[in-house]
Amino acid sequence: MADALTTWEAYLAYLKSQPLLTNLLANNSQVKESQFQGDVFSYPAVRLYIDYHPSINGCGVDTADIYIDIFSEEKSSKQSQNIASVLENLLQKKQFTQNGIKFPMNWVKDVIHPKRDIYAWKSCLNIKALVN
């Protein structure tokens, strides 16, 4: 049965298992939770945050708002935007099962254009997913 932790773990494992994504990164360990606070950080990097919304009384499909941030330290935004496009193609209207958790539908609601902050370019995807 899905809950906030197992949903997050399953989505993270799915992203790490996608060669189209991980081939654009140094390795699949660059896909982490958004709260990661290690002392070693390399670019490009993908960070995942999920707001999990259980159904009322377990009588329906749960939903999740999924936020994926892509960071790049390149001089232009091209790398972060390219990775965002790959993620959009991997997830838009797709279904998958990971760690026994089913994601029967993923809707990419927004692909937010890259913005430059002090350290890196950042692109973002906002996704609505069904979970059961």
How far apart (Å, rounded) are the C-alpha atoms in residues 115 and 71? 10
With CA atoms as reference, report the closest residue to 120 among 85, 83, 82, 70: 70
The string of pLDDT tens digits covering residues 52-72 is 999 988 788 999 999 999 999
Tell me what the pLDDT averaged over the chain comes to.
Answer: 93
Helices (H) and strands (E) in the chain, counts: 3, 7
- Domains of the chain in sequence order: 4-131 (3.30.2000.20)
The string of pLDDT tens digits covering residues 83-110 is 999 999 999 999 999 999 999 999 999 9
Using a pLDDT cut of 90, give the percent of the chain over it.
79
Half-sphere exposure in the Cβ direction for 6 (13 Å, CA): 14
